[in-house]
Chain A
Amino acid sequence: MTISAERPTEVDDKGVDPPEFIAQPKLRRHGLLGQHLGTAIVCGFLGYILGHWLGNYVASGYPYIANSGQNSIAVLLALMFMVLGWLIGIGALNYPFAKMLGREAKGEVEYQGWTRYFRYNLDHKVVGIQYVVGVLVFFFTGGLLAMAIRTELLNPTVHVFSADTYIKIVSEHGTIMMMMASSVVVGPLGNYFVPLMIGARRMAYPRIEAFSFWIFSAGYLVIFSALFFGGFPTGWTGYAPLQTQAGPGMISYLFGFAIISIGMMAAGFNLAVTIINYRAPGMTWSRVPIFVWSIIATAALLTLASPVLLAAGLFGILDKTVQTAFYVTEHGGSSYLWENLFWFFGHPEVYILIIPGFGIISHVVSTFSGKPVFGYLAMAYAMVAIGFLGFIVWAHHMFTVGMPLNLQAYFVAATMVIAVPTGVKVFSWIATMWGGSIEFKTPMLFAVGFIFLFTVGGVTGVVLANAGIDYALHDSYYVVAHFHYVLSLGAVFAIFAGFYYWFEKMWGVRYNETLATIHFWLTFVGVNIVFFPQHFLGLQGMPRRSIDYPAAFSYWNRVSSYGYLVALMGLVVFIAVLAEAAIRRRAARANPWGAGATTLEWTLSSPPPFHQFNELPVIHADSH
């Protein structure tokens, strides 16, 4: 234990302002009074009706709307007013409205008790818990859509869904999963643990933090609403002009992306400012935990990449509603514009998913090996380097679009370079395990699983980075296998590792180690059966996103589909873990992992008190 959280007797306060409390809280225990999820739903519903009526009133006479009978403008306005109503209903706009009207803002009431989880709450620990539930809803929705996909692909024929429904399910699955994953670590674990790890009492911008969650959840509603407007047929990549051709469901996709990108910017901005300004005395840059480094690298990506998505989404919305032609070549736009804007966001996006995972894995490996993180600074720089490189390699997603060869050569080289910082990470993890005394508790199992699966995804990624080989594999199932190995397996294993690692800290109860181990093994075996055969399918030449396929591909497709059942059992066991922990309620320990867990959050009780760090910890030595 090298961190001490003792009383700051010798602290010189010069340049280190102890942060103030959020607001002098009036702790209330009222049940359903005030603004909460219920009022948000009601206001959102009313907003939807108002917007839809307005859209029909304004635009139903437009020739293209009258001709097609599909009023995209009504859908857009309905969704916009729904989001607005949602935010008003939850109370996100009380403070800015009061300020704008020149009134002194009252400050939010800090509710205690269970109802705080259904309110606009400014405590980062509450927002963290809200995010956990939010991403789980996303994750289960996407996972059930994946079940629909694997069911359809059990058989080469069109046997469960129509081609139309199938492609919409695929699109919805991809979109929901990517948007879920954009917040999967940053939202729950980033918001919950960053202030605890840097010894801060609160976030820099608690209102923006709470806003980021509530707009994220509104984004879920918007994206999910696509299914009720007839879905969208473009996949999560939404390529124009197919996008321009699609029905009103496309509006949900474009507007949902825009909404979620606003949430991503808000979350990233708040986290970056917090990490820069709210570190405890003595918490120098060379002492912040690796997870915090990973979050600040991610925060940079969130704030810099999301605006591009927002712009791209707005162009698409204009194309789809008022007949501009940003993405339509024959009217002066370009079909390449969307591809470039989308992937300029899309590549940083995949690092938004995976870099916080890197941070978690470092902590877990270090804790359970009983050793500090090997090569701490190299690890921190590697994540920053990966984040930077993420911005300059986007066109490797589009090697086949018809770029000049010299440009392709650049993207080949730049993409390959990412292997160096990624190699540093893998090396450091396995070097941290070197000569340790390793305890294979559930988080460590997930971490080891992560390292293995991520290496598989990395090796197939280096193959794909070569444009010459990518021509054979681009948009085939090989690519599907590759990105599911790094994301669906990599990021999800990282989040599970983090979830179990901090389980007691967040929930205040213990989980059942045996059940959790079963969860790990079922998931590990299941996902490998699902995704490994897809490498073979890709090499055989099966294109992505097609409902029917030649009988020659049916063997590995069947194997892959059966694998889903195993993974699904893993998910069921995961729910059982949650249920068991909730029912048995074994009291949590402050630090269940012993001497290996050296970061500040373990010095607090489990769950941490409402006012954490009444006395700011002073950091005297490196924790790594």
Chain B
Amino acid sequence: MSNENSQGEEINHFRRIVYIWIALSVVCDLLFWFLVGPHVPPGRMTSSAQGDQLDFNILFVIGLPVLIGVSEWLVYAAFNWNAKKKDTPESVGGPRAWGNKRVEVSWIIVTSVVVVCLAGFGIIELVALQGAGGGEGPNPIWYPHGAIQAETAALAGTGTWSPNSNDVLPVQVIAQQWKFTYRYPTFGGFESSELILPDDTAIAFNVTSLDVIHSFWAYQLEVKADANPLENNVAFTRTQQLGNFVVRCSELCGLWHGAMFNYGTVVSQAAFEKWATTTEAANAANTKNLAPFAWTYVPDANGAAGGYYPDGNVTPYSPTEIYGSKQPS
């Protein structure tokens, strides 16, 4: 402390590190934000994808300076305080080397503030985007306007969807080893192996599984919800661009997990209605033979375990009651 010279030098080091850090951080952040940021996956096909891109870019812009700061400090130390260097001063000793309450406390306060802000930001984004495309379980507490009514009506078989009505479209995703199928309850509950969605529409994905745990991951839509047997996992998003997207399973589900993918398309509302009504009519004979629409299904009494458990203790096709609505007969 008393050594004027070393004190002055120390301040120099610190200033130098800070100046370099600020310069590098600003440059890298700006380069990232303007050059890379707009292209960060998964794009902007839905509200949740766009929100995700924004969140990722903001966190990256905050994280990059941390990384730059630590690396810069390490490199700086390696050059400046290297014992091999000629006329390196003696290492700092005495009480100053043991710690400095003021520095430590201010560091903790600064990091705490940053962390609390980040956590708050993360939570706000989660709520504002109605779950940000993630599974919220069977009883979502944040949802787009009209979603619960649409879901309840869908289960009762009275749901409707038409272009320009701003209705929420419920879609059921049924995962099984090793494929996804989709049911559209507002169109008579027909089943499709491709996922067609209308543009500019809030979608409620109801994800369930017939056997093991899968995960419905519509990459470009930024929707991911685990498919658990006998559970309905609801995720919301809002489409806002036309285009194709890919659906993959993202939870290890056995042998052909890697091959469990298919494709979907976001089409205009009119085109969607045309496709849905046509397919509903074309599939009517098959739909009759399907299990009545429900949020969850037990495929047969043996369940997922392939005959491991003895028969006889479950009713086939027993729908689980959700939203307090009446079970279809």
Contacts and interface: CB of A to CB of B under 8 A. Distances in A.
Interface in B135-167: 135-142
Given A167-B255, A241-B305, A412 B119 contact: yes
Nearest to B73: A430
B92 A423 contact: no
A400 B213 contact: no
Which range holds the interface residue count of chain A? 35 or more
A404 interface: yes
B132 A471 contact: yes
A245 B178 CA distance: 14
A242 interface: yes
B27 interface: no
B41 interface: yes
B309 A467 contact: no
A472 B303 contact: no
Contact of A402 (B127, B228, B252, B306): B228
B272 interface: no
Nearest to B97: A371
B118 A540 contact: no
Nearest to A539: B41
B56 A463 contact: yes
B34 interface: no
Contact of A455 (B52, B71, B135, B230): B71
B74 A452 contact: yes
Contacts of A376: 98-99
B63 interface: yes
Given A401-B226, A472-B224, A543 B217 contact: yes
Interface stretch (B107-115, B188-196, B273-281, B284-292): B107-115
Nearest to A448: B74
Interface in A409-435: 409, 412-413, 416-417, 419-420, 423-424, 426-428, 430-431, 433-435
A239 B209 CA distance: 14
Contact of B125 (A167, A244, A468): A468
A546 interface: yes
Contacts of A237: 252
A437 interface: yes
Interface in B222-255: 222-226, 228-231, 233-234, 246, 248-255
A233 B40 CA distance: 33
A456 B77 contact: no
Contacts of B84: 439-440
A330 B230 contact: yes
Contacts of B93: 371
Contacts of B91: 369-371, 435-437
Taking chain A's interface residues, is the majority helix, strand, or loop, or is none over half, making it mixed? helix
Given A378-B99, A405-B127, A451 B70 contact: yes
Nearest to A235: B252
A328 interface: yes
Interface string A223-238: 0000000000111010
Contact of A467 (B81, B132, B141): B132
The residue in B91, B125, B136 that gathers the most chain A C-beta atoms within 10 A of its C-beta is B91
Nearest to A67: B307
Given A336-B228, A468-B129, A455 B66 contact: yes
B225 A546 contact: no
A163 interface: yes
A303 interface: no
A517 B324 CA distance: 67
Contact of B229 (A329, A541, A624): A329
A323 interface: yes
A69 interface: no
A427 B92 CA distance: 17
Given A402-B137, A405-B126, A452-B71, 13 more contacts: A234-B252, A237-B252, A245-B304, A245-B305, A374-B99, A400-B224, A401-B226, A402-B138, A423-B111, A438-B83, A472-B41, A545-B257, A624-B98
7 contacts: A167-B257, A331-B303, A371-B91, A435-B92, A451-B70, A466-B122, A468-B125
